[in-house]
Structure 1
C-alpha cells in the first residue's frame, strides 16, 4: 500500500516540515565543531581524541542512513523521520551531561545514528510531497535547510550567543528536534507504507542490485561518494587551510558562514536545473561551475574580500550539485524500495565524508600547500559530474522508452 500526499492541500505543509527538520539537522551536524573549542579544554582532549569524537558521529551517520532507509520503506516516511528526530534529540541533549571522554564518544555516535536516519526520510518526504515534474525543486528546498542550519550554528559560535558554554549548544540541538517531532507526527500524512517483498531487507537490496538497476545504483553510489568527499573536506578543513594561507581564524569562520549561506542558495538552483525538460546539459554545466569555483579559490591570494566572495561561490556551486544528487536519488527507484535505495546511497556518501578529511590530512602531511589541497578537489568534482551526467542520461533514455 502506498499513501501519497495531496499535492494541493498537504504538499506545502509536508515540505515546510521537512525544511524545518533539515535546518535542525544542519545545526546538529555542526554543533560538535562549534562546541569543541570550549569542550576540548574542559575534558583535556588531545588532537587524536578530538578526531575520534568527530569520527564517532560520522560512523553513526552511516549506520543511521542504512537503518533510516529501511524504516522509511517498512514503517513509512513519517515514522522514520519522527524516530530519527527523537533519537538525535535525546542523545544530543544527553551529550551536555557526560562526564568522561568515553561517554562523549558514545553519545556523539548515537546522535550520528539519528542524524543519519533523518536524511533518507527527508529526501523521500520532499520528493513525494509534490508533482513528479517538480521533485528536484522540492528536494532542493528541503536540502537548503541543512547548510542554513550549519550557518546558524557557525553564527552562534562567532557571535558568542552560546555564552561560551559548550553544554548549551548540545542542549539546544537536542531540544529543537524533540519539539518538532510531535508536530511532524500530527501534521504529516503517514507516507511510505508498503506491503510487498521489499519490506524485507534482502528483498529491497536484491532489487537495488538487480541487473536492470545495477548500473544506475553504482553510478549513484560513485556520485554520492565523490560529492560528499568534496563537501566534508571543505567543511572540516577549509577554515584551517585559510588560516594557513594568512587569514585570521575569525575571518576564516566568516568564510565558512558564507560557504553555508551560498550553499543554501545554490541548493535551490540545483533543484531547478534538475527539473528542466532535459537536465543533462544544465547539470553538466553545474559541475563544471563547481570545478571552476574550486580552481578560483585555490588560486586567489589571501585577501579577505576576495576569499569571502570565493567561499560563497564555492559553497553555492558545491552544494548546488549535491542538491542535484539528493534530488535525483529518489527518482532512481520505484516507491516500494525508494527509502532503502536512497538510504544506501546516502550511507555510501558518508564513506566519502570520512575519506575527504583523511585525504586532506594525507596531502597536508605530505607537504601540499592549502592551494594544492583545494586544487586536488577539481578532478574529483569533474569525475562526480561525469557519473551524474551518465546517470541522468540513462534515466532520460528510460523515460523516453517508457
Structure 2
C-alpha cells in the first residue's frame, strides 16, 4: 500500500468514525423522545420544537462550517465541530428546564452541521473521480449505523434516556485526540492554498459564478425536499408507530431496521453511482422511497411494517448519498466546502420543516397517513432536480458521476 492509498484509507476510516458518532447524536432526541416528553412534560407541538432545535443549529453550522473550511482547512473545522457537538450532547444530560434543553440541542446541531460538509469534502478529495461515490458512501454509511446504535442504546437502557446523550457526548471527546494525531488534511486543499496568486472568491461568486447558478439552485431544491422526509422519519418514526398501535419494543425494532437499511442503501447508492447510469439510479431510489412510505402508512402487522421501515431507511439514505456524491464535483476545490455547506444548509430548512410539520399534522388529527401523503410531492420535485444537475453536468462537460 503506497503513501497516497494509506492517506486515503485513513481519511475515509476516521471520517466514517465521525459519521458514526454524528448519526448517533442526530437520532438521540428521537430515540429518547419518550423519556424527554415525560421528564419535561412536553406535548406533541413542543416535542416538534425539541426535535427542530437541533436541526435549526445544523443550518448555520453547515454553511459557516463549509465557508470557513475553504479558508483555514477541512481538518481544523471538523475537529472543532466534533468537540462542539460532543460537549453539548453531554450537557443535555444535566439540563433541568425546557429552555435549557432547547439551547443545548441548538448548540449540538451547530456542531453536527459544521461536521458534515467537511466529511463530504475530505472524502471527495481523498480519492480519484472514479471512486468518489464509493468513498462518500462508505463514510456516510456511518450515519445510519450510528442511528441504529442509538436505537439499541435506547432499547437497552429503557427509561434511562440520559444514557443516550451521555454516550453521544463522551465518545466524540475521546475521538478528537485521534483526529488531531492521524487525520490528514486534504491534499487538494493544501495544493490550492499553496498555489501562487489564488484569490479569495466571494460567496456569491462561489455558488453562482461561472454558470453554476442553475446547478446550485437545483441542488438546493433537491436537498430541501429530501431532507424534509429524512428528518421527519429520523425524529418521528417511533412516535408514528406508537400512534398506529405498535408497542415500544416493536417501534424500537423498526427504528433499528430503518437504520440498518439506511447503511445498506448508502453503500449501494455509492457503488451504483460509480458503476451505473446515475439518472436510472436516481429514478429507482426516489420511486422506491415513495413505495416504502406507502408501506409505512398502510402496514398493519409487525412483519410488513418491519419490511417497510427497512425499505424506507434504505431508499432515503440512498437518496441522501446521491446528493452528497453529486455536490462536490459541481464546485472547484477553492470553493468546494462552501458549495457543499450551502447545499446542506439550505436543505436543513427542509429538515426543520419536516419534524415541525409532522407535529402540526399529528396534532390536527390527520394521523400517520396524513403525514406521509403530505411529503410525497416534494420527493418527485427532489428527483427531477437531481436529474437536472446531472443533465447540466453532461451538457457543460463538468466532471460528474454520470454515465
TM-score normalised by structure 1 residue count = 0.91
Aligned: 1:167 with 2:162: yes
Q: Secondary structure at the match of 2:6?
A: coil
Task: State the match for 1:309 in structure 2.
Answer: 307
Task: State the match for 2:153 in structure 1.
Answer: 156
Contact between 1:72 and 1:80, CA under 8 Å: does it hold in 2?
A: yes
Task: State the match for 2:288 in structure 1.
Answer: 289
Cα shift readout 1:277-321 (whole Å, capped 9, x = no counterpart): 642222222222222222333333x11111101110111011111
Q: CA deviation at 1:68?
A: 0.9
Q: CA deviation at 1:369?
A: 4.0
Pairing of 1:2-401 with structure 2 (within 5 A): 7-45=4-42, 47-160=44-157, 164-191=159-186, 192-193=189-190, 194-195=192-193, 203-210=202-209, 212-276=211-275, 278-300=277-299, 302-399=300-397
Q: 2:23 & 2:328 partners in 1: Cα distance?
A: 21
Which structure 1 segments of 5+ residues have no match?
none
Contact between 2:45 and 2:359, CA under 8 Å: does it hold in 1?
A: no
Q: CA deviation at 1:199?
A: 7.7
Q: CA deviation at 1:198?
A: 8.4
Q: CA deviation at 1:6?
A: 5.8
Q: CA deviation at 1:19?
A: 0.4
Q: CA deviation at 1:45?
A: 4.5
Q: CA deviation at 1:24?
A: 0.3
Q: 1:243 & 1:53 partners in 2: Cα distance?
A: 19
Q: 1:401 & 1:142 partners in 2: Cα distance?
A: 21
Tell which deviates more after alignment, 144-153 or 91-100. Answer: 91-100
Which structure 2 segments of 5+ residues have no match?
none
Q: CA deviation at 1:167?
A: 3.2
Q: 1:68 & 1:16 partners in 2: Cα distance?
A: 21
Contact between 2:31 and 2:238, CA under 8 Å: does it hold in 1?
A: no
Contact between 1:30 and 1:153, CA under 8 Å: does it hold in 2?
A: yes
CA 1:100 to 1:298, structure 2 compared with 1: closer, same or farther past 3 Å? closer
Q: 1:103 & 1:245 partners in 2: Cα distance?
A: 32
Q: 2:60 & 2:358 partners in 1: Cα distance?
A: 24
Q: CA deviation at 1:49?
A: 4.3
Q: CA deviation at 1:105?
A: 2.1
Contact between 1:135 and 1:327, CA under 8 Å: does it hold in 2?
A: yes
Q: CA deviation at 1:327?
A: 1.1
Q: CA deviation at 1:119?
A: 0.4
Contact between 1:274 and 1:283, CA under 8 Å: does it hold in 2?
A: no
Q: 1:56 & 1:199 partners in 2: Cα distance?
A: 37
Cα shift readout 1:213-236 (whole Å, capped 9, x = no counterpart): 000000000000010011112222
Contact between 1:95 and 1:108, CA under 8 Å: does it hold in 2?
A: yes
Cα shift readout 1:142-177 (whole Å, capped 9, x = no counterpart): 1111111011001111122xx743333222211111
TM-score normalised by structure 2 residue count = 0.90
Q: 2:95 & 2:338 partners in 1: Cα distance?
A: 34
Q: 2:361 & 2:74 partners in 1: Cα distance?
A: 40
CA 1:198 to 1:381, structure 2 compared with 1: closer, same or farther past 3 Å? farther
Extract structure 1 runs of 4+ deviating beyond 6 A. Answer: 196-199
Q: CA deviation at 1:80?
A: 1.2
Q: CA deviation at 1:31?
A: 1.7
